């Protein structure tokens, strides 16, 4: 298997989502290169509604490939403030640019303190690399 791209500035979950802090109380979320490689060609992404609430560990959407349908699990509790509507017509963006144009949602949490506490429960790049190496 090829060496996985695991950007150090991001946080990760055991369910293969990545989290990028973009402001004091907002994060951008997507799935990792490892996850999209395992899924194969992504043909459909079910996105949540803007304004919907997420709970850590609960499904908030799905990604579909010819191989399978996989739930997307919320890495944090918060409100969906933005979705990547480009994925509705171009779900393959997740395959071609998992950490960039293939982002899925932006979540807003209560405040910076809450965000930092929730991020502390996620994995850093080194811990995530250990999971995908197993």
Structural domains of the chain sorted by starting position, each given as residue range(s) with its CATH number in brackets: 11-118 (2.40.50.100)
SS3 132: helix
pLDDT of residue 1: 40
Model-level pTM? 0.94
pLDDT of residue 3: 67
For the chain, which residues score pLDDT lower than 50? 1-2
Q: Tell me if 35 sits within 8 A of 68, measured CB to CB.
A: no
Instruction: Give residue-wise pLDDT tens across range 17-44.
Output: 999 999 999 999 999 999 999 999 999 9
pLDDT of residue 134: 84
């Amino acid at each position: 298997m090829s060496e996985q791209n695991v950007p150090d500035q991001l946080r990760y979950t055991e369910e293969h989502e990545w989290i990028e802090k973009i402001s004091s109380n907002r994060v951008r979320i997507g799935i990792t290169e490892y996850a999209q490689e395992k899924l194969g060609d992504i043909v459909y992404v079910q996105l949540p509604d803007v304004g919907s609430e997420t709970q850590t560990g609960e499904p908030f959407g799905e990604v579909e490939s010819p191989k399978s349908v996989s739930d997307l699990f919320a890495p944090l509790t918060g409100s969906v403030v933005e979705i990547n509507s480009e994925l509705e017509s171009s779900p393959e963006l997740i395959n071609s640019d998992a950490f960039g144009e293939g982002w899925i949602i932006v979540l807003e949490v209560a405040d910076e303190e809450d965000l930092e506490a929730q991020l502390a429960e996620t994995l850093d790049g080194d811990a995530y690399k250990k999971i995908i190496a197993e």
